[in-house]
Amino acid sequence: MIKAILFDLDDTLLTNPANEFVQHYKKALLPLLTEAFPTLTVDKLEAGIINGIRSVIKNCDPLRLNSEVFYTAFHEVTDLSLADHQDLMKTFFEKVHPSLKQVTTPIETAPLVVKWLLDHRYAVAVATNPLFQHQAVEQRLEWACLPMPETGFWFVTSLDNMHYSKPWPHYYEEILTRLGFEPDEAVMVGDDWANDMVGASQAGLNTFWIRNHHNETVDIRQESVQPDGEGTLADFFRLITEENWLQDLIPKPLVPNQIAPRMMGNISALLGMVSDIPTHYWHQRPDPNEWSPMEIVVHLRDSESRVQRPRLERILHEDDPFLVPPPSPPRPGEQQLQGLDGTKVALEFAAERAITLELINGLSAEAWGRPARHSVFGPTSFLEMASFTARHDRLHINQLCQTLGKCE
């Protein structure tokens, strides 16, 4: 059942010719930078920006935010740190960037389709390629007549809050973990074939391809993936309101290539969340019968090393093993965790997950299909239990979100 819709921004919710916009963006920004840093040429600054963007696109490190990757690469070329030009960028976004609105054109259907979906209790996220800072994305949404936070988006991607970019399937997995849904509960709507359709399909999402004059020559007949629908944004709106298109979608099959991106996306989403948790929230239990945020993260760390990975290792090394549920974890308040650092515990979980990823990396099709018997689930396989590990992550990350929402 579809519960979440992810929208690309440029040329999906807002007409924004990429090449023209980038040229205007550079023309507006580079003179400000050269004026502030006269020892640097336009060519040097542009090379720094290009190096930053390329580094973000290549990055697949679940521990590094895109902003960290970008500014590190920018510094390598220009010797400028974020602190050196942070005030300048603030001025740029407040006084100069709004003039770029003239390059764009709002799409009449965009506010209508987003409102309809939100009114019908779908989670709606903006899944733009996170190569621009949050302020830039926020302004483009305003130009699309979809201002934040009035519109009510569940999540909006940017350079500042994501660890991956398109077309990595990890990017889509990180978003879904933030939203609290599985890939078979989501649809990606976008115009870019490689970034939107291929990347989302690889993650297991259903897709709708926005056709426009930028991609009208793209021939997908020989492509390995096919969209579940295609047309204009108005066509998508008609399909979901008049033909129950969302209810008729067939989920994508579970395949081995989905597992590692899912596990990594979960880690990145968790790290993004814990970085924003106030210190005094960590040990709160708004519901005395539920775990605190610290207890949840400790459980994820301990389960990875004591339950999840050993179970996968057993399936790989034993013939058709019989699996039983693990012992019940500690009840709320049973553990003494006052001296722990929540962010450090999350990083320890990430380190344990890296070992699990080494275990599954490069496995043969035969290994993924190795059978097991579970006392609850019945006949199963290595693939299904690896998928269960990722679902276990999301179950408790959702629990963390709900608990944080009650903390004071």
In tens, the pLDDT along 109-146 reads: 999 999 999 999 999 999 999 999 999 999 999 999 99
* The pLDDT of residue 222: 81
Residue with the two structure tokens 């929540």: 342
* The pLDDT of residue 276: 92
Joined tokens for residue 406: 């009650």
Kindly report the CA angle at 203 between 147 and 187, in degrees rounded to 5?
Answer: 45
Alpha carbons 353 and 257: distance in angstroms, whole number = 16
Distances (CA, A) of 139 to 98, 108, 149, 196: 7, 17, 12, 22
* The pLDDT of residue 201: 98
* The pLDDT of residue 82: 82
Distances (CA, A) of 120 to 111, 156, 264, 340: 14, 19, 31, 42
* The pLDDT of residue 248: 95
Handedness of CA 312, 314, 316, 320 (dihedral sign): negative
Q: Is the pTM value of this prediction over 0.75? A: yes
Residues of the chain with pLDDT under 70: none
Joined tokens for residue 259: 């597992």
* The pLDDT of residue 185: 98
Q: Measure the N-to-C terminal CA separation of the chain; round to a whole number of Å.
A: 34
Q: Judge contact between 207 and 196, C-beta under 8 A.
A: yes
User: Which residues fall within 8 angstroms of residue 368, CB to CB, at 6 or more apart?
Assistant: 256, 381, 382, 383, 386
